[in-house]
Amino acid sequence: MGLAFTPNSAVLASCGTDELVRMWKSADGTALGTLARLPDIPMDLAFSPDGTRLAVASKDDTITLWAVK
Amino acid sequence: MGLAFTPNSAVLASCGTDELVRMWKSADGTALGTLARLPDIPMDLAFSPDGTRLAVASKDDTITLWAVK
Amino acid sequence: MGLAFTPNSAVLASCGTDELVRMWKSADGTALGTLARLPDIPMDLAFSPDGTRLAVASKDDTITLWAVK
Amino acid sequence: MGLAFTPNSAVLASCGTDELVRMWKSADGTALGTLARLPDIPMDLAFSPDGTRLAVASKDDTITLWAVK
C-alpha cells in the first residue's frame, strides 16, 4: 500500500489491497484510470526520478515495472 | 502511518492510528492544526514535489487529496 | 522501522524495534551515535529537504522532531 | 519490503521476503543481479541522494550499507 506523485506533480499513483494501481489527476482528484491487476497486494510503489518509469513491489516479491506515458 | 515534510521544509505532516493528519511547524514543533478525520487508518502520505498537494492513502484503499494552502 | 539519508548524503539515520534512532557515516558505515530513546517503536522517519530537521513517527502516534547538528 | 530507483533513474533496487536485494535495469526490466543475502527480512531500502550508497534495514534492526558501483 502506498502512493507517489510524478516528479512534475501532475499525477498521483496509488496502490491498495484491491491489487490495483490507480492514477489520479493531482489538480482536482479526477480518476485517470487503472493499471493492470497485480499478482498480489502491492506493498510499495515509486516513480523513477526522471518520471519515465513506475515500479510496484507486490507481497509475493514480484516487481512490476511500467513505462509511464 | 507516516510523515512527510513540505518541499520547502517549513511544515511536517504526520498521520497515525487516530485517523488524523496533523501539521507541525518544522522550526520548533508547534502544532499547526489537524486536517479532517480520515475514513480509516492512514497508511502512507506524500506531498507533491511542487508542494501544492497532500495525499493520504487509508487502509480501506481510499485516497484523500488536499490542496495545500 | 525505516532509514533515510541526509540530503547531502553524508549521514544515514535508521530506526528499529529497539526504539532507538541511530546515525551512521555513509562513507564507511561508522556508527555516529544514538539519539534519545523513543516512546514507542518507530514506524517512519524523514529528514527535511533542507537537512536541518529529523522527524520520527512512533507507533503510539507520537512525533519526535530533532534539529540536526 | 520496498523499492527505490537510483537518482539517475537507470537502476531499480528491490528487496523482499526472500531476504535478497535485487537490481533491475529501469529501461527494460532486465535483472542485473542480486546482492548478498540479508540477515533477516528487509523492511526498507534507500539510495543516498548522490547515488553512491544503498542502505537496507532488516527486521532484526541490522542496517546493511553498500557502495554502489
pLDDT in tens, C13-56: 999 888 999 999 999 999 999 987 888 988 889 999 999 999 99
Identify all chain C residues contacting B1, using CB atoms and an 8 Å cutoff. Answer: 43-44, 57, 59, 61
Tell me: pLDDT of A54 over 90: yes
* D16 at interface of A, judged by CB pairs closer than 8 A: yes
* Chain C residue whose CA is closest to D61: C16
Cα–Cα nearest to C9, from D55, D10, D56, B3: D55
Identify all chain B residues contacting C2, using CB atoms and an 8 Å cutoff. Answer: none
HEC string of A18-44?
CCCEEEEECCCCCEEEEECCCCCCEEE
* Chain C residue whose CA is closest to B11: C48
- The CA distance from D54 to D68, in Å, is 6
* D8 at interface of C, judged by CB pairs closer than 8 A: no
Name the minimum distance, in Å, from the CA of A49 to any CA of chain D: 6
Q: Which three cell numbers stand for residue B38?
A: 480520515
Q: Which of B2, B9, B22 sits opposite C52 (nearest CB)?
A: B9
Give the list of residues 6+ apart from residue A40 with CB closer than 8 angstroms, or none. Answer: A19, A58, A59, A60, A62
* A3 at interface of D, judged by CB pairs closer than 8 A: no
Enumerate the H helices of chain D as residue ranges: none
Tell me: pLDDT of B1 over 80: no
pLDDT digits (tens, 9 = 90+) for A1-29: 789 999 999 999 999 888 999 999 999 99
Strand partners, A54: A47, A66
Identify all chain A residues contacting B43, using CB atoms and an 8 Å cutoff. Answer: 1-2
The pLDDT of residue A36 is 76
Please provide the distance, in angstroms rounded to a whole number, between the alpha carbons at the two ends of chain D.
22
Q: Which pTM value belongs to this model?
A: 0.91
- B touches D (3+ CB pairs < 8 Å)? no
Identify all chain C residues contacting B24, using CB atoms and an 8 Å cutoff. Answer: 63, 65
Q: Which residue positions in chain D have pLDDT lower than 50? A: none
pLDDT digits (tens, 9 = 90+) for B14-44: 998 889 999 999 999 999 999 878 889 888 8
* Chain C residue whose CA is closest to D62: C16
Q: Any idea what the Cα angle at residue C7 is, between residues D24 and A15, rounded to 5°?
A: 50
> Could you give the ipTM of this predicted complex?
0.89
The pLDDT of residue B26 is 97
| A18 HSE (CA, 13 A, CB side) | 15
Identify all chain C residues contacting D63, using CB atoms and an 8 Å cutoff. Answer: 3, 12, 14, 22, 24, 29
Tell me: pLDDT of A35 over 90: no
Strand partners, A53: A67
- Which burial class, exposed, middle or buried, applies to C50 when counting CB atoms under 10 A from its CB (0-12, 13-18, 19+)? middle
